[in-house]
């Protein structure tokens, strides 16, 4: 049984109506989608005329183009209608099959109609934002009702206190406690209402931004997908999760601070601090990427000690909880004098080591050594004839699976990620930009002992480096 038959086995299949064969010139994604769509269509037992009469306003020609792969539907209406007919016929599909069909639809739409695919993604984001706005408004209304009720209760207690002050001398302390409790409740609900209103305003701004992006896509269907608007959209999505966490924890702490233990308060504050640090990192990354794209990266050169900077990065990783024996530093004799920006060097080294920790395995080795701009010529000359090195090289090696040759050229591209949810995709892009701003260069290739090796070369003095092409190992 094929993978196709395994996924679609619970669709009640009937004899296929007369449909012309699919065009073999269609892309693989569209062919796979059209084949699945035909299977579902056949299971409904409907003709084109029956379907258009029962479920207009779609016309027979459009349905025929959908079934022949000449057109991929922009939205889910046609697929959802077929699945609803299946359910009405007593043959409902499992969630796994529905998810499979949705994935095939999106892949086919992306290949066949990339602009409509981007419009679909923005529409989905808009729908999510609108739903969040409605939920926030609903929550705000509930809080307003609670606030009005608390105000009514406090007013009643205040009136009772004024009328019965003399008679209730013995119960004054208890009434005062109730008064203070209700006052705290009002303060708590007022804080939550303020937070809900802020969320409503943020949701409104998000809706306006997504509507603007949709208009831009409609006005400029050929615009490249890394435009400033889409960069802002990526930034908004990256910031949404930590901002929501910060807001939620802050509102909870303000509402129930006196009810939490010290340990609970510490955990919540540490979470807020970590999310705030994540926000700072995201914004800093986007700012660095923007400076690199515009060529406005400022470099402040001074005489630096490269081995000392490598030691500092390793010490920072160990202090953060990494095992000390996972890192090894090798320093070769004859290092030349280098005038570089210390902050930028730390940023490059920190990102390369962090990348090795996240994606590599085994021992991570940092090698600081003298280098020659023309490696091939230097390798063929006697040591006595080489002269002083004209560059310094820093290599970061791990013992993981390495990077395949077809992926290696992409790792320094902006927004490239090894996994769909692997962060912003800016780390190595920024590293490359900083390396070039320092007059140097960076490359990646197969490490001698397995794994990946990132080699960062900076010139002796302040001049730029020209890196000769490196021959790849035969096993790559």
Distance CA 286, CA 290 (A): 6
Q: What is the mean pLDDT of the chain?
A: 77
Alpha-carbon span 353 to 316, nearest angstrom: 11
Q: b or e along 49-69 (b: 16 or more beta carbons within 10 Å of the residue's beta carbon)?
A: eebbeebeeeeeebbeebbbb
Q: How confident is the model at residue 373 (pLDDT cuts 50, 70, 90)?
A: low
Is residue 7 predicted with pLDDT exceeding 50?
Answer: no
**Phi-psi sector, 153: left (phi>0), alpha (psi -120 to 50), beta:** alpha
Sheet holding 364-371, edge to edge: 327-331, 364-371, 391-397, 452-459, 441-446
129 with 206: CB under 8 angstroms?
Answer: yes
Evaluate if residue 475 carries a pLDDT over 50: no
**Which of 8-22, 81-95, 346-360, 380-394 shows the lowest mean pLDDT across its residues?**
8-22
Domains and CATH numbers, the chain: 3-112 (no CATH), 302-459 (3.30.565.10)
Distance CA 105, CA 74 (A): 9
pLDDT class for 189, splitting at 50, 70, 90? low
- The pLDDT tens digits of the residues spanning 221-253 come to 444 444 555 555 555 555 666 667 676 767 777
Q: Which residues pair with 395 in a beta bridge?
A: 367, 455
φ/ψ bin of 23: left (φ > 0), alpha (ψ from -120 to 50), beta (otherwise): beta
pTM score of the predicted model: 0.43
271/266 Cα distance (integer angstroms) = 9
Contact in structure between 161 and 173 (CB atoms under 8 Å):
no
Q: Using 50, 70 and 90 to split pLDDT, how confident is the model at 401?
A: confident
Look at phi and psi of residue 129 and say left if phi exceeds 0, alpha if psi is from -120 to 50, else beta: alpha
Residue 383 near residue 351 (C-beta atoms within 8 A): no
């Amino acid at each position: 049984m094929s993978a196709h038959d395994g996924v679609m086995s619970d669709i009640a299949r009937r004899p296929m109506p007369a449909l012309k064969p699919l065009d073999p010139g269609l892309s693989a994604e569209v062919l796979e989608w059209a084949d699945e769509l035909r299977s579902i269509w056949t299971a409904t037992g409907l003709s084109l005329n029956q379907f258009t009469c029962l479920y207009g306003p779609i016309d027979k020609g459009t349905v025929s183009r959908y079934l022949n792969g000449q057109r991929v539907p922009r939205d889910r209406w046609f697929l959802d209608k077929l699945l609803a007919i299946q359910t009405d016929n007593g043959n409902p599909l499992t969630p796994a099959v529905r998810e499979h069909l949705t994935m095939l639809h999106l892949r086919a739409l992306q290949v066949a109609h990339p602009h409509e695919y981007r419009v679909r993604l923005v529409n989905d984001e808009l729908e999510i934002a609108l739903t969040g706005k409605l939920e926030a408004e609903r929550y705000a209304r509930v809080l307003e009702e609670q606030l009005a009720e608390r105000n009514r209760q406090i007013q009643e207690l205040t009136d009772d206190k004024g009328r019965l002050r003399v008679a209730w001398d013995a119960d004054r302390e208890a009434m005062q406690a109730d008064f203070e409790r209700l006052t705290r409740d009002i303060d708590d609900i007022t804080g939550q209402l303020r937070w809900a209103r802020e969320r409503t305003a943020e949701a409104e701004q998000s809706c306006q931004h997504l509507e603007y992006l949709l208009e831009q896509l409609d006005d400029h269907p050929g615009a490249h997908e890394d435009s400033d608007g889409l960069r802002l959209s990526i930034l908004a999505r990256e910031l949404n999760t930590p901002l929501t966490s910060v807001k939620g924890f802050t509102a909870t702490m303000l509402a129930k601070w006196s009810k939490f233990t010290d340990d609970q308060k510490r955990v919540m504050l540490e979470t807020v601090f970590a999310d705030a640090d994540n926000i700072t990192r995201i914004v800093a990354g986007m700012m660095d990427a923007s400076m690199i794209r515009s060529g406005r990266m400022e470099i402040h050169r001074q005489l630096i000690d490269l081995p000392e900077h490598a030691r500092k990065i390793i010490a920072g990783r160990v202090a953060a909880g990494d095992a000390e024996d996972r890192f090894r530093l090798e320093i070769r004799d004859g290092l030349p004098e280098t005038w570089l920006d210390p902050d930028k060097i730390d940023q490059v080294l920190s990102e390369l080591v962090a990348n090795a920790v996240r994606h590599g395995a085994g021992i991570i080795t940092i090698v600081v050594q003298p280098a020659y701009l023309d490696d091939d010529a230097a390798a063929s000359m006697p040591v006595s004839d080489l002269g002083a090195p004209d560059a310094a090289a820093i290599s970061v090696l791990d013992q993981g699976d390495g990077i395949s040759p077809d992926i290696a050229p992409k790792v320094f591209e902006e927004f490239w990620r090894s996994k769909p949810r692997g962060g912003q995709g800016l780390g190595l892009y920024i590293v490359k930009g900083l390396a070039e701003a320092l007059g140097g260069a960076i490359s990646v290739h197969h490490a001698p002992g397995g794994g990946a090796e990132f080699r960062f070369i900076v010139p002796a003095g302040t001049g730029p480096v020209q890196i000769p092409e490196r021959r790849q190992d035969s096993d790559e």
